[in-house]
Structure formats: structure tokens, C-alpha cells
Amino acid sequence: MHQRRRIVLLFGLGIVLPSLLLSYLAFRGIQNDRALVEKDRLEGIRRAADNVALAVDAGIAAVEQALSDAVAGRSGSLAADLRPALEKLVAENPLIEQLFEVRPSQELRFPIANFLYVGDGAREADNSPIAGTNQPAEFLAAQMLEFRDNDLTGALAAYRRLQGRTRDTRLSAMILNAVARVQKKSGLAHEAASTYEMILRDHGPAVIPGGMPLGPSAALEICGLTRELGDFPRSLRTALSLYHSLVRREWDVEKAEFELFAGRVKDHIKALFSDPPSGIDLQAFRTEFDALAVEEDISRKRTERMIVFQEGAVPALEAKTRVADREAPGQPFVRSTLEIGDVSYLVTIERPSPAGLDPMDGVWGVILDAGRLQADVLRPALLDLFASGEATWAVIGKDNAVLMSSGDPFAGPAALRTDFASNFPGWTLEFHQTPPRLIKTFLLSRRGLYFFIFLLIAGILVFGLILTIRSVSHELELARMKSDFVSTVSHEFRSPLTSIRQLAEMLQSGRVPSEERRQRYYDVLLEQSERLALLTDNILGLAKIEAGRAAFAFDRIDISALLSEVVTAIQDRVRHEGFAIGLEAEAALPPLAADLTAMAQALTNLIDNAVKYSGDSRKVSVRAFLDGEDIAIAVRDFGIGIKKEDVPRLFERFFRGGDELTRTVKGSGLGLTLVKEIVEAHQGKIHVESEPGKGSVFTIRLPLPPREEP
Ligand code: ADP
């Protein structure tokens, strides 16, 4: 046993240790490889991030270029001929939220903005005097009649006279307005409404000196008058159309004016909705009204945003331009994120030419639409470059707000954060490496290959270990059995030889007293020498079979005759011990094709074993009978039997059953091995049934030769 342990130990030292070392190296290799792959991936992400930044930069640069082209060669930027080019520019560049110009006077204006209103006081007031100085005097006189004297008829006549003579459209608008007012006061609702219609049609945008445009107030008057007259549809249509005009910025109004007109017209419409005459379907009107309200809301937000910009951007832009002059001189545009109040703007503005500003020219700039920049430029670039799903990304804005993300939840900490060039737009791109998909990357990578090779080596080693242990144990067991064999066999030879020699000496010296005693000695001599012969035959037979030199000569033999010969021989040998070996052979058993000597030896071994292991029993029975196509020979004893666990090993070389220490019967462990070899050489089978203490039956079955057809 300890030999085995030594071999396993050697195996461990010689193979397991080196392979452990090998595995360690492989593991380190895998780790290095992994780090390398991670680095590669990070590098890839960095490159892609740079490309994203480039794409955004290119998008902005394109807008700047288009702006430069549109305003190139301008002379006096207020020139109306610039307008179509600017409109086209805005229409073609969705990234532009608003276009603006900073005049040399530091005033900021939006040349093509369609705002809901302008800031209070921002409208360019038209206070030019009305042409012809005498007419206003007459106009004043008429007003005197109207307001001071309360002479409505006189006032109306005076206004009408004046109207017939005037050539000045602005004055005539004011006169019409006065006429309508007096008509309304005089209870001439129909007439007043018609006059207001006329104002609305012909003089809508006209602004009374220092005041507001006439159109909206005229429309409001019409609404009121028609409602009084009971013309519900006309009132509603006029109101809706006024609201429409206000929302669509057809009037040039200031904020307070807008609020006034819009508030009143909405109240009017709501009042009409709440009290409609029967038979009028309001659904279409309501839908229109709601749509306009939504539009107003959107426009209002945009307008407010631009008014804030208009009021606060100039100083901020100047500061940024100064910084840019220092930090990045030579760029044609200055890009910056402006924060005015809590509103932020992405602005890019022309840099004034250093040669000195032409006093006629302003500087042009663009407020970029951050939403569109994200949706139209940034997102496609990100999606395009990170399509493989190697990384999840997010665009982080002010206060760490996530503006946009790839949508996947982040796995692990940020792998990479980058800003845009010169921090414009002021967003941060954040990338998170997604953990590699195990199966995919692993199977395809070099790591996977290492791993499989490693597994293979480990498998081979384990297999080798098992194989080695098994064959070593087997060899050791065989060696042990062989040494057992040598000691038993030499003993086996020695004891019969000793007794043969003693008996022979006694017989020779003539010192044997009686004839009967002499006869006994002869019997013993015979028995011992036969035992020696059997042993020798077994050893030689097996040696021959093992060496592959056994040549069997198959003859037709009569098995009953052979049996009775063998039984008689053994019976003769053991009669003096009181054994009775019964033979029972079926009459007329067919002849068998067999090697006579070998078969005799096999049968002798079986019967000899039965005698040897009979214990106290003195009875052995041998039976030969036909069993189907076979001849069966059963040797039965009533002796010590065989332990169950020994049965499968009985036919192994050198195997000896029972307990090694208490074994009394001598033997070599070769007999049954030889029997089995012989039986199998005859295409036969051997079978054992045994019960310890009760005896055993060994049955061999030998196939009959195919019957010869006569
Ligand atoms: P041996 O020389 O020991 O008899 P064998 O090969 O003939 O060698 O038998 C192997 C073992 O089988 C024996 O040691 C014995 O334990 C067992 N054996 C064989 N025949 C019998 C039997 N008839 N009864 C009990 N045990 C038997």
C-alpha cells in the first residue's frame, strides 16, 4: 500500500506541480490579455467620443459658414435686400434657433424674428408729425365738439368733412376711427361696425401717434358691436380671426398691448362659447380656439426667451469675445454658452474684424437650438458610433442633469468623460463600458482559447492520474499475488516431496511391519506424486496459454468415458480418506469435440477442488447431462463454500479465496484460471453457485459440435 502512496506522490510532484505552475502562468496570461482588451476597448471609446465631438463641431461650423455666406458683402446690414437671404438661411438650417445682429450702437436686434410681441417700449415709435399742419387743427376742432361739447352730430359732420379733404392716410385712419367712435356713441351700431370693418381692412397696421395699431382695437369693437346686434357668428368669427392675427404676429405690438388685446379677445370668445344661441355648432370654433391657445403658449415662451436675450446678451457677449481674443485668437466665430438669469443659450457670433469695425456694419450671430443640436447631430453621431453596444452613454448638462442617454442602465462606474472642444456646447459626454457579453467575447477571444487548452490539459492530467493509479495498483496486486504464489508453490512442492521421500525410505529399508501398512504407504505415495503432477501440469498449462503457445487438438471424445476415468483416478487417490465421489452421467451423451488432455485436466481440477474444499464432508457428486445444445458437467461438493465477495475473482490468476491467515488447504490459485481458459478455448462457459458452509457447484457447459448431416 505504501508503495502506491509513493507512486501517487511521485506523480503529484512530477506532473501535478508543473501543471499547477502551468495553470498559474495561463491564468496570468489570461489576465494580461484581459487588461489589454480593456485598454483597447477604452481606446476605441475615446476615439469614438472624439468623433462625436467632431461631428457636433462640424454641424456648428456648417451653420457658421452658411451665416457668413448669407451676410457676406453686405453694406448696411439693415438693407432690406438681406432679408430673403437670411430667411432662406434660417429655413435651411434647423439648428438655428434665432438669428441676431449686434449693431455698432450695441443694440441687439432680431432681423427676421417673428415674435409674439416686442418688449415694452421697444417698438420703433413713429412720432413723425402728420403731414399738413392745418388738418390736425381741424381735427382738434372736431374732437372739441365731440368731447367738450358732446355734440355728436356736429362732431360726426366735422370728421366727415375733414375726411373728404385729407390725402394723408394716417390722418384718414385716425379720422375713420373717430367717426366709428362717434357712430357707436350715437347708437348707430350698424354703421359703427361697418366703419370699424373699413379701418380693419384698410388701416389695420396704422399706428396712431404715440399709440398702438388701430387694427386690433377696431376688431375688438366689431366683436362687441356685432354681439350687441345679435350677430353671433360674425362676432365669433371676427374674434377668432383677431386672435389668429395676434398669435400669428400680424400686428406689431408691444407686450402690454398684446396682453391687453389677447386677454380681451379671449374673454370675448369664452363669453360667446358659454352662451351660444341655439342651432349653432361650436365644435369647429372650439377646436380652432384651442389650437391657437397652444400656439400662443409656445410662441410666448420663445418670445420671452428672446426678450431676455435681447436685454441681457450684449455685455455677456462682449466679455466672451474678449476672453476668446485672448485664448483662441484668429477664429472667425466666438462660440459660447450664455447664462442670462437662469436661461441658457448656445451662441456663436462673428468676431468683429480687427481692422476696425465699419460703423455701418454690425456683427451677426446665431442662437443655436440646443434641442435640435442634440436630436439632429449629437444623437445620430452617438448612435452611429456606439451601435455595437460596447458602451452606454449619456450627455450631461448643467447641474449634472442627464440631457440624453443611450437608455440602458449604467453598468459600473463611468469609463470615460469628455467635454467638447473649448467646452462648447457646455455638455459632458459620459461613457460606461458595458461588461463584455460573456459567451460571445469569451468564446471568440484568445482568453477563451487559453482556457480551453488549460481545461484540456487538466482533463488529460486527471485522466492520466486515474489510469496510472489503476495500472499501478493492478501491477502491485499482481506482484503480491506472484510472491504469494512462489511461497505457496514451493511449499506445495516441498511437502509432498518430503513425504514421498520419507515413505520411500521406509519402504526401502524394509522397516514397514505389515502388508496392510505398506499398502497404505503406496496409496499415499501415489496420491502425493499425482498431486505434484497435477500442480506441474497446471503451471505448465497456464504458462503455455499465457505465452500463447497452447495448441489444442480437437478430437471427438466421449465425455462419459473421460469423466469416469478422471473420477476413478481421483477416487482411488482419496479413497483412504473416506471420500465417495459419485458419478452420474446420462446414457448416450453425444460425442464432444475437445482436446482430451486439456479437458481431463480441467475436470481433474474441478473435482480435485471439490475434494480439497470439502471440509468435514466426504461426499462429492459429478453429473453430466444434456442441456439444450450443450453438454453440462456439474461438480458439487458439500464443503466450506465460497464467500460471496470472492466469487467474481475466483478465476483470476493466483487468486486464493477465504482468509489468508486461517487458510489450511494448500493451493496455487492457478487451478480455476486454467479451467476457465480451457473451457473458453472450447467455446464453453463456467458458472459457480455456492453458499458458505453448505458447498459449491461448478458447472461447465460445452457446446456440441454441429450435427453432421448423413
Ligand atoms: P487453489 O489452488 O487455491 O485451489 P484454484 O484456482 O483452484 O486455486 O481455486 C481458487 C480458489 O477458489 C481457492 O483458493 C478456493 O478458495 C476457491 N475454491 C475453488 N473451488 C472451491 C470449492 N469447490 N469450494 C470452495 N472453495 C473453492
At residue 179, the pLDDT reads: 93
Is residue 38 within 8 Å of residue 420, measured between CB atoms?
no
Nearest ligand 1 atom, CA 639: 24
635 C-beta closer than 6 A to ligand 1: no
Pairing of β 555-557 and β 343-350: unpaired
At residue 423, the pLDDT reads: 79
657 C-beta closer than 6 A to ligand 1: yes
Q: 655 CA distance to ligand 1 centroid (A)?
A: 8
Nearest ligand 1 atom, CA 635: 23
- pLDDT tens-digit readout, 333-365: 888 888 888 888 999 998 876 554 454 567 889
Supply the mean pLDDT for the chain.
Answer: 85
At residue 125, the pLDDT reads: 57
Residue nearest to atom 8 of ligand 1 (CA): 669
Of 375-379, 493-497, 631-635, minimum mean pLDDT range: 493-497
Residue nearest to atom 21 of ligand 1 (CA): 609
Average pLDDT over residues 214-229: 92
Q: 612 CA distance to ligand 1 centroid (A)?
A: 8
User: Distance between alpha carbon 123 and the CA centroid of its chain, in Å?
Assistant: 61
Q: Count CB-CB contacts under 10 A for residue 229.
A: 14
At residue 210, the pLDDT reads: 61
Of 377-381, 439-443, 482-486, minimum mean pLDDT range: 439-443
At residue 445, the pLDDT reads: 66
Q: Say whether pLDDT at 479 is over 80.
A: yes
381 C-beta closer than 6 A to ligand 1: no
Q: 323 CA distance to ligand 1 centroid (A)?
A: 110
Nearest ligand 1 atom, CA 667: 2
At residue 22, the pLDDT reads: 80
Write out the DSSP string of 571-638.
HHHHGGGT-EEEEEE-TTPPPEEE-HHHHHHHHHHHHHHHHHTTTT--EEEEEEEEETTEEEEEEEE-
Cell of 419: 467635454
Cell of 278: 341655439
642 C-beta closer than 6 A to ligand 1: yes
At residue 132, the pLDDT reads: 47
Task: Tell me the C-alpha distance between 206 and 212, whole Å.
Answer: 8
Task: Tell me the C-alpha distance between 304 and 298, whole Å.
Answer: 10
Highest averaged pLDDT of the listed ranges 129-133, 279-283, 416-420, 642-646: 642-646
269 C-beta closer than 6 A to ligand 1: no
Q: Which of 668, 454, 679, 389 is nearest to 540 (CA)?
A: 668
At residue 429, the pLDDT reads: 87
For a pLDDT cut of 90, what percent of the chain falls above it? 36
672 C-beta closer than 6 A to ligand 1: yes
Nearest ligand 1 atom, CA 614: 24
At residue 483, the pLDDT reads: 82
Q: 661 CA distance to ligand 1 centroid (A)?
A: 15
Cell of 559: 465425455
Q: Is 476 helix (H, G, I), strand (E, B) or coil?
A: helix
Q: What is residue 275's DSSP assignment?
A: S
Q: 668 CA distance to ligand 1 centroid (A)?
A: 9
Task: Tell me the C-alpha distance between 612 and 615, whole Å.
Answer: 7
Task: Tell me the C-alpha distance between 518 and 77, whole Å.
Answer: 156
Q: 641 CA distance to ligand 1 centroid (A)?
A: 9
At residue 531, the pLDDT reads: 82
Q: Say whether pLDDT at 103 is over 50.
A: yes
At residue 382, the pLDDT reads: 87
- pLDDT tens-digit readout, 687-708: 999 999 999 999 999 998 876 6
More confident residue, 422 or 509: 509
136 C-beta closer than 6 A to ligand 1: no
> What strands, in cross-sheet order, belong to the sheet with 363-368?
108-109, 96-102, 363-368, 343-350, 333-340
Residue nearest to atom 15 of ligand 1 (CA): 657
Q: Say whether pLDDT at 133 is over 50.
A: no
- β-partners of residue 363 are 102
Q: 666 CA distance to ligand 1 centroid (A)?
A: 10
Residue nearest to atom 16 of ligand 1 (CA): 657
Q: 25 CA distance to ligand 1 centroid (A)?
A: 56
Residue type, 29: G
Of the chain, the end-to-end C-alpha distance in Å amounts to 63
Instruction: Give the CA radius of gyration of the chain.
Output: 62
Q: 696 CA distance to ligand 1 centroid (A)?
A: 10
Is residue 132 within 8 Å of residue 169, measured between CB atoms?
no
Which secondary structure element, helix H or strand E, spans residue 710, and what is its range? none
How far lies 100's CA from each of 10, 69, 104, 564, in Å?
Answer: 89, 15, 13, 132
- pLDDT tens-digit readout, 514-564: 888 888 888 888 888 888 888 888 888 888 887 777 788 899 999 999 999
Average pLDDT over residues 621-642: 94
Write out the DSSP string of 204-230.
TT-B-TTS-BHHHHHHHHHHHHHHHTT
Q: Count CB-CB contacts under 10 A for residue 105.
A: 8
Is there a cis peptide before residue 18, judged by omega within 30 degrees of 0? no
Q: 500 CA distance to ligand 1 centroid (A)?
A: 25
Q: Which of 436, 455, 335, 472 is nearest to 59 (CA)?
A: 335
Could you give the residue ranges of the DSSP H alpha helices within 168-282? 169-185, 189-203, 214-228, 232-247, 255-274
668 C-beta closer than 6 A to ligand 1: yes
Of 9-18, 215-224, 398-407, 699-708, minimum mean pLDDT range: 9-18
Q: 563 CA distance to ligand 1 centroid (A)?
A: 20
Is residue 337 within 8 Å of residue 426, measured between CB atoms?
yes
Is residue 615 within 8 Å of residue 639, measured between CB atoms?
yes
At residue 205, the pLDDT reads: 73
Q: Between helices 189-203 and 214-228, what is the axis angle to 10°?
A: 150
At residue 481, the pLDDT reads: 75
Residue 235 phi, psi dihedral angles, 5° rounding: -60, -45
695 C-beta closer than 6 A to ligand 1: no
Residue nearest to atom 20 of ligand 1 (CA): 609
At residue 77, the pLDDT reads: 47
Q: Say whether pLDDT at 131 is over 70.
A: no
Q: Say whether pLDDT at 225 is over 90.
A: yes
Q: 610 CA distance to ligand 1 centroid (A)?
A: 8
Q: 555 CA distance to ligand 1 centroid (A)?
A: 29
Ligand 1: which of 656, 664, 699 to mutate, judged by most atoms within 8 Å of the beta carbon? 656
Q: 642 CA distance to ligand 1 centroid (A)?
A: 8
Average pLDDT over residues 48-70: 90
Statement: the pTM of the whole predicted model exceeds 0.85:
no
Task: Tell me the C-alpha distance between 364 and 100, whole Å.
Answer: 6
611 C-beta closer than 6 A to ligand 1: no
Average pLDDT over residues 326-337: 82
Nearest ligand 1 atom, CA 670: 6
Of 392-396, 485-489, 511-515, minimum mean pLDDT range: 485-489
Q: 654 CA distance to ligand 1 centroid (A)?
A: 10
Is residue 689 within 8 Å of residue 634, measured between CB atoms?
no
User: Distance between alpha carbon 249 and the CA centroid of its chain, in Å?
Assistant: 54
Ligand 1: which of 481, 601, 613 to mutate, judged by most atoms within 8 Å of the beta carbon? 613
Q: Say whether pLDDT at 203 is over 90.
A: no
- pLDDT tens-digit readout, 406-459: 876 666 667 788 888 777 888 888 888 766 655 666 666 666 777 788 788 888
Ligand 1: which of 607, 647, 672 to mutate, judged by most atoms within 8 Å of the beta carbon? 672
Ligand 1: which of 490, 642, 673, 675 to mutate, judged by most atoms within 8 Å of the beta carbon? 642
Nearest ligand 1 atom, CA 651: 6
Q: Which of 649, 708, 639, 637 is nearest to 676 (CA)?
A: 649
Q: 656 CA distance to ligand 1 centroid (A)?
A: 6
Contacts of 497 (CB under 8 A, 6+ apart): 528, 532
At residue 126, the pLDDT reads: 57
Residue type, 49: A
At residue 576, the pLDDT reads: 83
Residue nearest to atom 25 of ligand 1 (CA): 641
When pLDDT is cut at 50, 70 and 90, the band that residue 290 belongs to is very high
Residue type, 81: D
For a pLDDT cut of 70, what percent of the chain falls above it? 90
Q: 657 CA distance to ligand 1 centroid (A)?
A: 6
Contacts of 473 (CB under 8 A, 6+ apart): 4
